[in-house]
Amino acid sequence: MNSKLDFIFNRRSIRKFTAKAVSKKNITELLEAAMAAPSACAKDPWRFIVVRNRGNLQHIVELLPNGKFLADAPVGIIVCGDISAAHAGSESYMLQDCSAAIENILLAARALGLGTCWLGVHPRTERIAGIAKFFGLPDNIVPISAIAVGHPDKMPEKHTRFMADNVHWEKW
């Protein structure tokens, strides 16, 4: 692993956070990184809801069976897509654009000494409906993922899941 890429290899899913708050400056920096992601025809269909209220976080985790630890995270970021803004009105482009923004948040967080975990919402219809209802989302706004953000309780070892068998050179 090339150490110049450590900012990638050091990103691991963090599911336990210290009680230390995440500054508004850091949150804004994460969102600046998100909105620097590539986007089909630069339509930027991503929308973000920043959640710090403990009661709201507790409500959200009732909808996320594999994300209970978000209730104890200092910040949750709900990443949504605006289907009316997506290139060609395409759900696929919207999801790809938002996924690129999410990964930028995860990598930026690691560079700032923060930890994150990506929590799946889309395509689970019950999670989409529950989050849309709780936040009162307009019909064109689709919740895609939640991200838990905080100061990591401990930083895991860097890694890659590189497998040469997954790579095909020139032809399959």
Ligand X SMILES: Cc1cc2nc3c(=O)[nH]c(=O)nc-3n(C[C@H](O)[C@H](O)[C@H](O)COP(=O)(O)O)c2cc1C
- For the chain, how big is the Rg over CA atoms in Å? 17
- The 3-state DSSP composition of the chain as helix, strand, coil percent (nearest 5) reads 40, 20, 40
Range 97-156, binding ligand X (CB under 6 A): 117-120
Minimum distance from residue 67 beta carbon to ligand X (Å): 5
SS3 at position 90? coil
Range 49-108, binding ligand X (CB under 6 A): 66-67
- Identified binder of ligand X from the candidate list 8, 9, 10, 12, rule CB under 6 A: 12
What span, in angstroms and rounded, lies between the C-alpha atoms of 35 and 30? 9
Omega prior to 45 cis, within 30 of 0: no
- Closest to ligand X by CB, 27 or 60: 60
Which of these segments, 9-17, 49-57, 79-87, 164-172, binds ligand X (CB under 6 A)?
Answer: 9-17
Chain residues in the site for ligand X (CB under 6 A): 12-13, 15, 66-67, 117-120
